[in-house]
């Protein structure tokens, strides 16, 4: 199989990730629930991962990193824990349903919602955020990179606008964490939501959020914490405030090993490789008759994603043929990005998404381009 569905989940992980998970399963107990070696070992691994991620994202302190299952849980926590009736929130057409659906829920509870539109290439004008800010604007929440087009958002510019107006800035880094450098302090990000199973190269069921010191987020869940047992309310201190219940220590051990691999390999090296493969594929298919490609490829820096359609064929039909005939794995359909598809005019057809990993080879890229050329003929 030629796996080109890395924007959904990176299939090939560094060997040390599997080793770390296997070792953790065989040795770790429940972090923070005792003083024996199994629980202390779990606490050490989780703290080491917390510290590594804090350094990775340039957080003020490891305690500002809370672990979750994935970006969806992180975004639900950030959105539902920050907004209330009467607040105004701004987002964009680029967003994944893990942003949109919690926002729609909050809209039903009295939150006012503004959605920044995109152009025909799926780009937004960051000046629109400034224009849409009101007196009751509480938060801006937006993606760093579209999971459909691969277009990036200038989050440093948006962060500057948000901080100037004293508006919370929440970033969905699902497609960029691990590939693009993110400095939460320099970019003025108040809440950063990330998942472990995509470009951070970790196991599924891992993720987290950074919350700037001084920013309070109401917890999505409450329950066991290992501390302050006789208190009726869940402990308010970070990161315990957002980590009710037993953490996925085994997965976090794998995520820790994955981030260590990225640091050793070099994020810039990984990004350069993935973008080279993306460009090779784009150049190989852009002139094929009947192929329509979505997104802005005039800029150098973009997520390693190419979304396209072949004539009027349904995207699922094309994706199925690619896999059944050529063994090429892609993602068709709506990609949980309904507003982006509406903006691109692909609601009915969907799109076939090719997304690349630094583990892919030039031969695989060329085989995928050749397969599309044969299908077009």
Question: pLDDT tens per residue, the chain (377 residues)?
Answer: 999 999 999 999 999 999 999 999 999 888 878 788 888 888 999 999 999 999 999 999 999 999 999 999 999 999 999 999 999 999 999 999 999 999 999 999 999 999 999 999 999 999 999 999 999 999 999 999 999 999 999 999 999 999 999 999 999 999 999 999 999 999 999 999 999 999 999 999 999 999 999 999 999 998 887 888 888 888 889 999 999 999 999 999 999 999 999 999 999 999 999 999 999 999 999 999 999 999 999 999 999 999 999 999 999 999 999 999 999 999 999 999 999 999 999 999 999 999 999 999 999 999 999 999 999 99
pLDDT of res. 128: 98
Q: What are the residue boundaries of the structural domains of the chain, listed by start?
A: 15-265, 266-376
3.90.1150.10, 3.10.20.440, 3.50.50.60, 2.30.110.10: CATH of 266-376: 3.90.1150.10
Neighbouring CB atoms inside 10 A of 316's CB total: 14
pLDDT of res. 186: 98
pLDDT of res. 229: 82
Q: Are 75 and 210 in contact (CB under 8 A)?
A: no
pLDDT of res. 228: 81
pLDDT of res. 32: 78
Q: The tokens of 6 are what? A: 């890395």
Tokens 């987020």, located at residue? 217
3.10.20.30, 3.40.50.2300, 3.40.640.10, 3.90.700.10: CATH of 15-265: 3.40.640.10
pLDDT in tens, 35-68: 888 888 889 999 999 999 999 999 999 999 999 9
CA distance 222 to 84: 19
**Number of residues that make up the chain:** 377
The mean pLDDT of the chain is 96
pLDDT of res. 136: 98
pTM summary value: 0.96
* Residues β-bridged to residue 112: 88
Q: Distances from the Cα of 41 to the Cαs of 31, 190, 240, 249, in angstroms?
A: 8, 31, 18, 10
Tokens 């770790």, located at residue? 28
Tell me the CB-side half-sphere exposure of residue 226, using CA atoms within 13 A: 18
């Amino acid at each position: 199989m030629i796996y080109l569905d890395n924007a959904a989940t990176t299939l090939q992980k560094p060997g040390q990730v599997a080793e770390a998970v296997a070792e953790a399963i065989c040795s770790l107990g429940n972090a923070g629930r005792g003083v024996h070696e199994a629980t202390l070992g779990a606490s050490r691994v989780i703290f080491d991962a917390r510290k590594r991620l804090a350094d990775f994202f340039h957080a003020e302190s490891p305690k500002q990193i809370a672990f979750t299952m994935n970006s969806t849980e992180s975004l639900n926590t950030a959105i539902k824990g920050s907004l209330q009736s009467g607040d105004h929130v701004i987002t964009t057409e680029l967003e994944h349903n893990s942003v949109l659906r919690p926002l729609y829920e909050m809209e039903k509870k009295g939150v006012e919602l503004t959605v920044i539109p995109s152009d025909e290439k799926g780009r937004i004008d960051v000046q629109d955020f400034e224009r849409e800010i009101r007196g009751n604007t509480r938060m801006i929440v937006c993606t760093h990179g579209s999971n459909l087009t691969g277009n990036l958002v200038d989050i440093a510019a948006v962060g500057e606008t948000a901080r100037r107006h004293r508006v919370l800035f929440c970033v969905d880094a699902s497609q960029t964490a691990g590939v693009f450098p993110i400095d939460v302090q320099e970019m003025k990000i108040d809440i950063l939501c990330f998942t472990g199973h995509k470009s951070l190269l970790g196991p599924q069921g891992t993720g987290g959020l950074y919350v700037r010191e001084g920013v309070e987020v109401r917890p999505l869940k409450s329950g066991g914490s290992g501390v302050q047992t006789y208190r009726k309310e869940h402990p308010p201190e970070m990161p315990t405030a957002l980590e009710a219940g037993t953490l996925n220590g085994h997965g976090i051990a794998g995520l820790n090993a994955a981030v260590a691999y990225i640091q050793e390999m070099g994020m810039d090296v990984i990004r350069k490789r993935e973008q080279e493969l993306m460009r090779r594929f784009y150049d190989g298919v852009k002139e094929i008759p009947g192929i329509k490609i979505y997104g802005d490829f005039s800029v150098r820096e973009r997520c390693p994603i190419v979304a396209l359609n072949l004539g009027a064929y349904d995207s699922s039909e094309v994706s199925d043929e690619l896999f059944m005939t050529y063994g090429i794995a892609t993602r068709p359909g709506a990609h949980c990005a309904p507003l982006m598809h509406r903006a691109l005019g692909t609601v009915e057809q969907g799109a076939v998404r090719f997304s690349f990993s630094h583990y892919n080879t030039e031969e695989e890229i060329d085989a995928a381009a050749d397969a599309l050329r044969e299908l077009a003929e």
